[in-house]
Each structure stands twice: as C-alpha cells, then as structure tokens.
C-alpha cells in the first residue's frame, strides 16, 4: 500500500509540474531557455564543411515552418530561387540577450550587445551544399530607448509604454521589445537581421521579398 501511495503521489506531482509549466509558458512567453540540439546531419554536405571550419554550433534560418529537426532542415532550410540557406555561428543566445537587457542600463547594454553581435558570422549554403562565409556584421543599429532594467526602474519602453503601475513590470517591459538590427554586406547587397525574438528572429536577404525566420532559442550542435 505504501508503494501504491508513493507512486500515486509521484504521478500527481508530475502532472502538476507539467500543467504549471504550460501555464507559465503561455502567460510569460518571453520566459524561454536556450537549448542545443544534436541532430544527425550526415546527409548534409554543408555540415561537414562547417565542422572543418571548427564550427560546433549554429542557428538556422528558413521559411516560417523552420524547426530544429532533421526533417524540417531537409525541406524548410533551402528555399528561394535559386535554393539557398542561411545560418549563423557565434550568435548570442536567447538567454544572454535577455539577461543583458535585464542587467544593464541603456548605454552599457548597447555596448555589450554590440560586442556580442559583432562576433556573429553569417553563412550561405547553396542548393548543392556549398558553403560561403559572408562574415561578421558591417554594423549594428539600435532603435531602443530603454532596456528592460531601465523600464522596471521607471523609464518608458521604446514604444512609449509606461509599466510603472503594472503588477508584473518585467513581463510588461519585455512585451514587444524593440531589439537591434544587425547588418552584413557582400557582393549580393546588404543583409539585415531584426533581433526581436518571439521566439523567431527575421533575416532580410538581398533581392528577396519574403523574410526568413531564424530560431534564436534552439541551436544545432554539429
């Protein structure tokens, strides 16, 4: 009987924690944790090439359905005409991005984020799996007028929202946060990454009308 009671108690605890976690993720969508996933990418030539460059972790971009799974990378990564794919190495993690905005005032946060984004390398993958290193950013631009920390301490958000009387100031200050825009240049033109994770960030590729979606939360371990 004691064993049955213990199992019953364990089951109730498991169900409760699952339900609570689901509720939290709905109420506070900005609360997310970066994760690295190991996927068997043996059939993708570009993965081997990136390993030769000593790249061990990447964030992939694609159409609106892109996910960090082998199946999705097979059908949602290489898009456009001609088919090409884009990914990042050295991109700041979702956790570190929000931690910076919650820990520093505007000028310190901008300096910190600029240094971090300047380490991000953009790569282009051809339909045949050939890899081209586009390189590090040409510039990083900030439209934000307050960090999350500034907002919690009384400043208005970049959209002019006053969160000082809100019950949950942190969630209010993160809502619709205007993140930086990061630019790269090559002979194709200028690439623009709009980093306002929800959880996707968006990449504008030269001569493409549609934006590409990049996963900022989950990265791939090569």
What would the pLDDT profile of 197-213 be if each residue is shown by its tens digit?
A: 776 899 999 999 999 99
Q: What is the pLDDT of residue 196?
A: 87
132 closest CA partner among 87, 92, 91: 87
**pLDDT surpassing 50 at residue 11:** no
Q: How far apart are CA 29 and CA 25, in angstroms?
A: 5
Structure tokens at 95: 């956790």
The two most distant CA atoms of the chain are separated, in Å, by 73
Q: What is the pLDDT of residue 165?
A: 94
Confidence of residue 23 (pLDDT cuts 50, 70, 90): very low
Q: Helix or strand or coil: residue 198? A: coil
Mind listing the pLDDT tens digit for each residue in 72-103?
A: 999 999 999 999 999 999 999 999 999 999 99
Kind plus residue range of the DSSP H or E element containing 106: helix 106-117
Strand 35-38 and strand 189-194: the pairing is: unpaired
Mind listing the pLDDT tens digit for each residue in 122-174?
A: 999 999 999 999 999 999 999 999 999 999 999 999 999 999 999 999 999 99
Strand 218-221 and strand 35-38: the pairing is: parallel
Q: Helix or strand or coil: residue 36? A: strand
Q: What is the pLDDT of residue 140?
A: 98
Mind listing the pLDDT tens digit for each residue in 29-80?
A: 334 455 677 777 868 999 999 999 999 999 999 999 999 999 999 999 999 9
Per-residue CA distances from 36 to 45, 53, 78 (Å): 20, 19, 21
Q: How far apart are CA 218 and CA 93, in angstroms?
A: 9
Evaluate whether 72 touches 64 at the Cβ level (below 8 Å): no
Q: What is the pLDDT of residue 43?
A: 80
Residues 6+ apart with CB under 8 A from 13: none
Average pLDDT over residues 175-194: 96
User: Per-domain residue ranges for the chain?
Assistant: 1-31, 33-143+179-221
């Amino acid at each position: 009987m004691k064993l049955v009671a213990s199992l019953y108690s364990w089951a109730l605890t498991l169900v409760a924690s699952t339900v609570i976690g689901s509720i939290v993720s709905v109420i506070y969508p900005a609360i997310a944790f970066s994760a690295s996933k190991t996927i068997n990418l043996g059939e993708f030539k570009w993965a081997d090439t990136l390993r030769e460059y000593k790249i061990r972790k990447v964030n992939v971009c694609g159409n609106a359905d892109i996910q960090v799974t082998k199946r999705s990378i097979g059908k949602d990564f290489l898009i456009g005409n001609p088919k090409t794919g884009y990914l990042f190495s050295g991109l700041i993690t979702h956790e570190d991005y929000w931690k910076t905005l919650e820990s520093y005032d505007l000028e310190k946060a901008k300096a910190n984020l600029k240094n971090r984004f300047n380490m991000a390398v953009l790569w282009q993958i051809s339909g045949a799996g050939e890899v081209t290193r586009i390189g590090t950013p040409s510039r990083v631009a900030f439209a934000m007028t307050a960090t999350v920390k500034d907002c919690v301490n009384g400043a208005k958000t970049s959209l002019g929202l006053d969160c000082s009387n809100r019950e949950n100031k942190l969630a209010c200050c993160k809502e619709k946060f205007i993140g930086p825009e990061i630019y790269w240049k090559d002979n194709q033109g200028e690439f623009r990454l709009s980093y306002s994770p929800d959880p996707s960030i968006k990449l504008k590729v030269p001569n493409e009308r549609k934006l590409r979606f990049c996963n900022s939360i989950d990265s791939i371990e090569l």
